[in-house]
Amino acid sequence: MKTHSIFRPTLLVIALAAAFPMAPAWAEDDVAELTSPNTTEAALNLPYTDKANPLYRQYNGVTKEGVSTNVDVDIVRRRDADWFRVNARNLGLRTQEAGISYERQGDWSISLDYDQIPRFSPYEVSTAVSGVGSTRIVQPNIANTAAAANNPNLYDVTLKTEREITTLAASKFLLPGLKLGFSVKNEDKVGSRMSGVRGVTGTGANPANIYSAFLFAPEPINQNHKQMEATVEYTTEKYQIAAGFYGSFLGTKQNALNVIPGTNTALVAANLSPIALAPDNSVQQFYASGAYNFSKDTRANLKVAWSEGRQDDNFLTGQPTLAGIGGSLNAKVQTTEVYSSLTSRLSKDLKVLASWRYEDRQDKTPIRIFGTTTSAGVTTNYLNNPESHTANWGKLEANYRLGAGFNLTGGFDYSNKSSKEWERHDVSELTSRLAVSRTMGDSVNGTLSFAHSERKGSEWNNGTTPPILPVYLADRNRDRVRGMLDVAASEALNVQFAFEAFVDDYNKSTYGLDKGQGQIFSVDGSYALSDVWKLNAWYTKQTGETRQYAQGAVCTTGNGSNCTVNTFRTGTLVQWDANLKQDSDQFGIGLNGRVAKVDLGAQLLIFQDKNKQELSNMPATTCTNASCSTTGAVAAGMGVLPDTKYTQNTVKLFGMYPVSKATRVRLDYIYDLRKMDDYTWSNWVYADGTRVYVKPEQTTQVIGLSLLHSF
């Protein structure tokens, strides 16, 4: 279980990190003792969990009911300029982390850290396939009938991934201002995650694989990821220079997944196996940067970086390939980046900023034929699709101090991207923005800003506009407003308000995205009820909406030309509008204080995310054959999709009693209610009978007892 604390890192927070600020337990401590950094503190934690619900355990690693004993340790020692630190959290749990470091200030430092990060699937899975977690998935021995969905041999499977991360870092000053740094990070990730493969469509009056013939085939994961970085820095009062190397190397120990049929060999498509898994890959980057102070008011920055990414893992052995492909993709992508900026205070009231960033990405992966088909005498070749591009980002900004604490900021942001491989070779966007702010006020401070963006581009390929414009290339106008207000109503009461809204308007293609909008509003306040009791509360409201146009064909005897036309709202296709809405509410309130020697705290958290998919303008009839000589009514209920909703309500309580000057006892209680109303996972059944289920309402309670002692 993760442990977080706001003010003192030694105060244990169990389960979901019940983080409550609290006052020191002993006000009579000597000043010298309070200011001394030397501490040795340990905590023995005994949290009891009544249920290991899938939604609750997703990241805390508690997979069973009962007590999950763990230990926290903090050690700090200082002698002159030498610092020695040891810290550990959740020792004994799947989320344990530990670190040790030694530093001589201004000279050298070294540290070693270890972390475990689990991730459990929020779904309950029951299956009759075997080999979950391995590279060989064996389908059950059962006929392709409805009986597969009621197989008595189903057993429960827990899908999860676990990461172990070790990081070593060190630095050394060779000369005044000259510093070398080095770090290496090693991560091992193992487990399995939800996945499926397409089998053969079932036959008969009641086939088992009614769900698009998908077979349960969880992806096995066994990977090693190494990251290395080395830096050299030289700093003077006038300029700063740095150079370095960064490398990322991903190695996968499993490169293929095999799905083996059971008795029902017809369920598994021919030539389905082996299925390729993630290949090995690497990225290496060299960079150099510098900054120069022309004066106390003017500063320039420059950074240049070159990187190369490779993916040259061998293809799967035993697979038929076309002549001339070779043994691997031999992918290679080289990227050059340059960033520069200049800031200057032209007068006591006027400050300007100018910056430019350039990126040149060259995909040098060989283009080869990976497949070919022939139909009606026409041969079609299938090639890999390398993508190279160049991009530029520019910014010009001025800030003027108006007086009385007010500032006016205006600027322009420019971006341009071009690629010969895109359907639109060149796209540019210009943003104009203006903001007014007030700072250093006695009771009211805030900011209000407006921005307008216009994105345009060159002609589409061959002068023909596609029926659906890719969102990232389409013309778009965007208007955005942001506001923040900080009000200190009194010495005891402080309230902050924030608001942001945007409106997108796309150059509408025949089908696809048309408009979008979103808003975020938040309020956060704190109130001192007394010298020892504090109250805080916050609320956030987030909404989003996108509108798009779509079409689909219903042709039972083939897909003729009438089933592929792109004419807007005419012809023989099923056409509709889609209005997608997202709505999120988050609320929290907390109270903490002290009664006699007992520190007390309470917190209530409420979260709700809701997604609506509104389809409209469905036609009454559509064609039923390729020539559309006959028509039929659209199926009843077509265009109706249920809402999906996720809710979390959590109550956290704690109390801590100082048994002695060095020993404290802490008691925590957590009540956690989570609901997931998602029709897509309410009762999913794979073609092989595997069932995936999410319990719509899950309640978890945690009672934790902790003993904290300072040595």
Residue of 630, 607, 631 lying closest to 620 (CA atoms) = 631
Q: What is the DSSP string of 629-671?
A: -SEEEPPTTTTB---EEEEEEEEEEEEEEESSSSEEEEEEEEE
Check residue 508 and give its pLDDT: 66
- The residue that leads in pLDDT, 575 or 491, is 491
pTM exceeds 0.95, yes or no:
no
Tell me, yes or no, whether 630 lies in a domain. Answer: yes
Q: How far apart are CA 122 and CA 158, in angstroms?
A: 9
Please report, rounded to a whole number, the percentage of residues in the chain having pLDDT higher than 70: 83
Count Cβ neighbours within 10 Å for each residue of 231-254 and write b for 16 or more, e otherwise: bbbbeeeeebbbebebbbebebee
Asked if residue 416 lies in contact with residue 392, where contact means CB atoms within 8 angstroms, the answer is yes
Distances (CA, A) of 579 to 483, 568, 611, 638: 27, 17, 11, 15
Check residue 94 and give its pLDDT: 92
Check residue 78 and give its pLDDT: 93
**Residue 375 in this model has a pLDDT that exceeds 90:** no
pLDDT tens digits for 58-110? 998 888 899 999 999 999 999 989 999 999 999 999 999 999 999 999 899 99
Q: How many CA atoms lie within 13 A of 228 on its CB side?
A: 10
Read off the pLDDT band of 622 (50, 70, 90).
Answer: low
Asked if residue 276 lies in contact with residue 254, where contact means CB atoms within 8 angstroms, the answer is no
In the numeric block, which tokens belong to residue 472? 């990232």
Residue of 55, 59, 77 lying closest to 15 (CA atoms) = 59
The mean pLDDT value of the chain amounts to 85
Tell me, yes or no, whether 82 lies in a domain. Answer: yes
Per-residue DSSP letter, 568 = T
Read off the pLDDT band of 1 (50, 70, 90).
Answer: very low
**Residue 384 in this model has a pLDDT that exceeds 50:** yes
Read off the pLDDT band of 143 (50, 70, 90).
Answer: low
Residue of 397, 481, 408, 480 lying closest to 438 (CA atoms) = 408
Tell me, yes or no, whether 17 lies in a domain. Answer: no
Q: Find the mean pLDDT for residues 207-229.
A: 80
Q: What is the DSSP string of 248-274?
A: EEEEES--EEEEE--S-GGGSPTT---
Range in 322-336, 341-355, 693-707 the model is least confident about: 322-336
Non-local CB neighbours of 16 within 8 Å, separated by 6+ positions? 1, 2, 60, 650, 652, 670, 672
Check residue 290 and give its pLDDT: 96
pLDDT tens digits for 417-428? 999 988 899 999
Most confident of 366-370, 451-455, 487-491, 673-677: 451-455
Read off the pLDDT band of 623 (50, 70, 90).
Answer: low
Angle ∠(577,581,583) on CA atoms, nearest 5: 170
Angle ∠(181,185,188) on CA atoms, nearest 5: 175
Residue 263 phi/psi, 5-degree rounding, is -60, -40
DSSP lists the bridge partners of residue 156 as 126
**Helix, strand, coil shares of the chain as percentages rounded to 5?**
5, 60, 35
Tell me, yes or no, whether 338 lies in a domain. Answer: no
- The domain tally of the chain equals 1
* SS3 state of residue 688: coil
pLDDT tens digits for 4-60? 333 333 333 333 333 333 333 344 445 555 556 889 999 999 999 999 899 999 998
- Taking each continuous run of H as one helix and of E as one strand, the counts in the chain are 2, 40
Check residue 288 and give its pLDDT: 98
**Residue 117 in this model has a pLDDT that exceeds 60:** yes
Q: How far apart are CA 504 and CA 518, in angstroms?
A: 9
Tell me, yes or no, whether 245 lies in a domain. Answer: yes
Check residue 628 and give its pLDDT: 60
Domain containing 161: what range? Answer: 31-279+459-710
**Residue 208 in this model has a pLDDT that exceeds 50:** no
Q: Find the mean pLDDT for residues 319-334.
A: 83
Please report, rounded to a whole number, the percentage of residues in the chain having pLDDT higher than 90: 58
Per-residue DSSP letter, 460 = B
**Sign of the dihedral defined by the CA atoms of residues 626, 628, 629, 632, in that order:** positive
Non-local CB neighbours of 30 within 8 Å, separated by 6+ positions? none
Tell me, yes or no, whether 592 lies in a domain. Answer: yes
Tell me, yes or no, whether 118 lies in a domain. Answer: yes
